A and B are shown apart, each in its own frame.
Chain A
């Protein structure tokens, strides 16, 4: 990723520029120290004057909020907040029309910012006060009074928290009254600028100690830069939260969200006082001390998939290369390329108002359609369809450009969606709720009624749907605030709730393979691959044996999972290097054999691989597919004698339903096993099963409900107590006087024989 820097200046005004903001995606406003608001139109490269202020107005900054700022509709700024050196702020309407002037602080106002939804703004100044205001400029609250000057402030992602600086410390204060602020010492020098991303919730700060640092919302340091040549003058997160820009004296730097630097350029422009990103996150503007207007466009963005690679070599041209062929192709567009995605054999290019779909092996005939709003912030791809997140609408399209669905959820804010909180699979979408972060919405594409939301006990931070197989194989993996990884089945039948089980601890991030259902994750200090996560619902005791862990030490702090295609996991290291790590190819092959039902091939493969984890995977896959013979051999190969005996016992059961129930029991799900039996009228088996797992109360309940099995339960209970030489203490059993029943060993044996006989006859 690189920046292409363009400079321009107004012929009449050469004084320092103090602030900058985007009016539309093609027009930038610059606020000059010479009492004037200037503009630069990028499409015709002309500079002009928006409005002039009175001579006593000495601006320190401005921030504009616009409600419906989309790139294909040219809606200008709605309201401009201009802060001044004499403690006043001015509210200006569109095109700089003067509306209101309010004295807010003693001394200069150093920060003035609209919140994310435009329902208010904050001002902070040299007097150490921080105040919030209504859009019309009426005082709402004084958040902070007195103390050190507040040099910079930022709104939290949900506009309910404010981050501000005080000397060398950063402080997060919630707007909820009487809440305790979080405060930490962040820099060795005065902190000059902060920025808080609403997408990834990360904070970046920079100060006079010539460093910039990244923090999470709890004040944990995620990254600290080396000492730069000059103090950090300005900072800004891009709107998609992927990168941020840092302005210095005569220099600008583009950094990844992990902190490492993408690009650095020195220009003789003086200090860059202020940086502002355009809403689509592809270009930024800077206000320079020598009066230069700076606009930088991101070029050389790169996406790759297998042997294909697409790079934006300029604003409107993509170079597409197939590594197996020599000549790269150039794709030219009439509009600026906003974002692109390459996966599953399709390249999706989003320009300002259109979406183009290219098949990698057939570039000549792309499908194209017009976007609804034209401000795509996220593209998600699955093998049959893809999802676009626009400003206020989420749409799912097929690869021939047909609109498949436009899912809607009540509490989902599109600006805050990123790849961690929304996930797409071929037929399902999962998204986390925004007001209740414990809730996950699941939707089957094409079905009109949304499924019941999945409710977790703790806030969910990351979620991902697996990609391979059909709806029955669909699982949702999610990580909660405690960094526990859970796996949930996506299909909830009727009123049966989702099956959810814990898969791992201390998991930082996860990624499903795009071809088979295996999952990789960064877990504590290891890179963990779950070869067959569904084992959790089939035979959870084998979970550990189907997992491979690799040391993640070489990745450093906070590694990021980039891709998991075929057998290769791409991990982005702390310093931005992409490190590939391979998983054994047998697993993919095993998955495909299992999917096609070629169990003989699967067995042969396992014998060649001679690897316990592969055998363990086969064992669970076979159990899942009720391939008892295959499962038996696989279990034998990994020394699970008890399972082998159990499978042999299951095989000896003549009745299919009972077999099914016993297999369910293998996965540890006794309730479901019992339900299967009861639904099919095998009460005797159900009672027996409960007795076998010492679930006496349930056995008695069933036994007393179906009178003829009561004696059976009481007899087994008696035997059990006798063998442990114990007195009856269970209240439920004490109700029954054994004297009332004539229970003899012969009678019970007879009873059981009759039942088994009945069962055999029913086949």
Chain B
């Protein structure tokens, strides 16, 4: 058992346009990447459950081999910077990924 925080070298979130926030999980070691990918813990359904949102809000989920990366995108409820929004760059939304347990 290991957490994503231990297996990935980069875990980040950032705006992808004004209506979405995209998340990147990148492993430096290929073995760690294979372990994360093959566990199937991270999936469209898995991240929807983690963030406690309907699966339809996860607009994209991709395994990106050239970068040893898993990438998914969540639709914002309101565009970035709207009244009431507090993360205009979308840059602090990744924290819940740290403690995800990978067998």
Please determine whether chains A and B interact with each other in the same assembly.
no
Instruction: Give B residues with C-beta under 8 Å from A.
Output: none
Instruction: Give A residues with C-beta under 8 Å from B.
Output: none
